[in-house]
Copies of this chain bind each other. A is one copy, B any other.
Amino acid sequence: MASGLPGQDGGEGLLFLTDEQVRKGIEAMFFAYRAFTADPDRILEGMDFGRAHHRAIHFIHRSPATTVSNLLMILGVTKQSLNRVLRSLIDNGLVEARVGTRDKRERHLHLTEKGLALERSLSDAQRARMRSAYRAAGPAAVQGFRQVLEAMMDPELRRQFQTLKEGGV
């Protein structure tokens, strides 16, 4: 019955909240996220790294000298999960962990030249896809995209995201 009016949702103040519309959004998230991770996954397959390594590399790059604890909060995983990933990144010479000067318990994380090179290759691929999607959809759509994504986050998560957003680079 919803398909009786198959056009745009524009101008419909009520229809856009039907279960059908919402379900389509859910499925769009599912498929889009698969596309979103596809390029980095492709680059990493064959190396000894995976998606978790990509995430660590990304956030170390964007917040150099970050600590393990800080990374832990951002990524939302447990210590051991991150530790395994960091270990292999360090052992393979992509990440350097410098003991803190003020607090010697802390390790400050940095990408090496090699790490930076991989970061660039991964983020180039992912950015290219995102940029092309942005270009195809247009500026207004991009703003809506970002608004909905932020609204989906729990307050705590959104706070983290926004802190990151401002403090970044």
Contacts and interface: CB of A to CB of B under 8 A. Distances in A.
Interface of A: 3, 8-10, 12-13, 16-17, 19-36, 38, 55, 58, 62, 76, 123, 126-127, 129-154, 157-158, 160-161, 164-166, 168-169
Given A16-B134, A129-B152, A137-B144, 14 more contacts: A3-B166, A10-B140, A23-B168, A24-B165, A27-B161, A27-B165, A29-B33, A36-B152, A132-B151, A133-B148, A136-B147, A141-B144, A144-B145, A144-B148
Contacts of A26: 36, 58, 123, 126-127, 130
Nearest to A136: B151
A122 to B, nearest CB: 11
Contact of A29 (B16, B36, B139, B165): B36
Would you call the interface of chain A mostly helix, strand, loop, or mixed?
helix
B17 A135 contact: yes
Number of copies: 2
A105 to B, nearest CB: 28
28 contacts: A9-B142, A10-B140, A12-B139, A16-B142, A17-B134, A20-B168, A21-B142, A23-B62, A25-B134, A25-B145, A25-B146, A26-B126, A26-B130, A28-B146, A28-B150, A29-B149, A31-B149, A31-B153, A31-B158, A31-B161, A34-B76, A35-B153, A35-B157, A133-B148, A133-B151, A141-B144, A144-B148, A145-B148
